[in-house]
Amino acid sequence: MTGSRSTLSIYGEKAIELLIRLCGVSAIIFVFAIFFFVFREGAPILASKDFSLGKFLTSTEWYPTSMSNVRFGTLALLAGTLSVTGVAMLIAVPFGLGAAIFVSEFCTGKVREILKIVIELLAAIPSIVWGFIGLTVMNPIIQNLFHVPVGLNVLNAAILLALMSIPVMVSIGEDALKAVPDSYREGALALGATRWQIIWRVLLPAAKNGLLAAVLLGVGRAVGETMAVLMATGHAVQIPHSIFDSCRTLTATIAAELGETREHSPHYQVLFLIGILLFTITFIVNLIADFVVKGVRKK
């Protein structure tokens, strides 16, 4: 048998290892490629004399197709994104974390399995279907319930986003709660603590980093969501003053307008620039979430 392993098979091994390493680093390559190619399409506008980066970030006037006076201010869009995300989180955080606590602390056996499957299915519903639901189901409900003329508004989109980001929060939140050693719970029980006290004083403090990461990943998902908010926000460029105002988000703007622009026109380039802005926001949110999670692991 000795010597039957030829040099060829050693080179084969080396080749496979090289391939695997290449695939391994591909994620880095893709992240850089995304930044590079999106920036490459959008960058020329930065040199244009009609464009000012300050106005881009601070002006609320978004008139990309105006014949006489083109204005590319994204503040209203950013406000739309933030308000929809914010309201969504106000709904999603208590319900998401509450569900995580219920699944992890109050459920056993079959009930738990079934709930986890339901939540998994909730996560699987495509965003276009959520948008469709917003348009056809939520719109009339909101109109009738709150007596407002338009049901496509911040509230509508926020409820959809909340339902979309809850599954992420539940699964990561549940992991965080599972990571709290049982001895903590038993210790607290032995001291005569009630279930409330255990949750408030023991579980939440012990799992707080994991829960925070769960919330941040939910935020990341909500900021980046496109189709659902495109269909449910009402598509009005304005800074919303109440949850019943229509608005428009950064993502929806790209989705709605990219198809109608000429390639390499200023409008087209500005849309790519918005893409870079979005990429940066979600990148930072994910980075923070990652560091928070790593903090958990170190303990």
Minimum CB–partner distance for residue 53 and other proteins (Å): 19
21 vs 241, which CB is nearer to other proteins?
A: 21
Stretch that binds other proteins, among 11-19, 48-56, 67-75, 239-247 (CB under 8 A): 11-19
- Residue 196: count of CB within 10 angstroms of its CB: 8
* Contact status: 23 vs other proteins (CB under 8 A): yes
* Contact status: 90 vs other proteins (CB under 8 A): no
Distances (CA, A) of 201 to 70, 152, 195, 197, 198: 56, 41, 10, 5, 6
Stretch that binds other proteins, among 54-62, 64-72, 146-154, 252-260 (CB under 8 A): 252-260
| b/e per residue 260-291 (b: at least 16 CB within 10 A) | ebeeeebbbbbbbbbbbbbbebeeebeeebee
Q: Which has the closest alpha carbon to 215: 158, 172, 279?
A: 172
54 vs 192, which CB is nearer to other proteins?
A: 192
Site track for other proteins across 108-147, x = CB under 8 A: x------x-xxxxxx-xxxxxx-xxx-xxx----------
54 vs 263, which CB is nearer to other proteins?
A: 263
Stretch that binds other proteins, among 14-22, 48-56, 146-154, 236-244 (CB under 8 A): 14-22
67 vs 124, which CB is nearer to other proteins?
A: 124
CA-based torsion, 36, 39, 41, 47: positive or negative: negative
- Quick one: DSSP state of residue 262? P
Stretch that binds other proteins, among 9-17, 46-54, 66-74, 147-155 (CB under 8 A): 9-17
User: By the 8 A CB rule, do 206 and 184 touch?
Assistant: yes
26 vs 66, which CB is nearer to other proteins?
A: 26
Query: Which 27-56 positions form the footprint of other proteins (CB under 8 A)?
Result: 27-28, 30-31, 33-34, 37-38, 40-41
50 vs 290, which CB is nearer to other proteins?
A: 290
Minimum CB–partner distance for residue 119 and other proteins (Å): 8
CA distance from start to end of the chain? 50
What is the token pair recorded at 214?
Answer: 């769960």
51 vs 283, which CB is nearer to other proteins?
A: 283
CA–CA distance, 67 with 287 (Å, rounded to integer): 41
DSSP output for 124-191: HS-HHHHHHHIIIIIHHHHHHHHT-S---SHHHHHHHHHHHHHHHHHHHHHHHHHTS-HHHHHHHHHT
Query: Which 193-232 positions form the footprint of other proteins (CB under 8 A)?
Result: 194-196, 199, 217, 220-221, 223-227, 231
* Contact status: 279 vs other proteins (CB under 8 A): yes
What is the token pair recorded at 1?
Answer: 């048998």
Minimum CB–partner distance for residue 39 and other proteins (Å): 9
Minimum CB–partner distance for residue 241 and other proteins (Å): 26
HSE-up (13 A, CA, CB side) for residue 121: 6
6 vs 68, which CB is nearer to other proteins?
A: 6
What is the token pair recorded at 250?
Answer: 């950064």
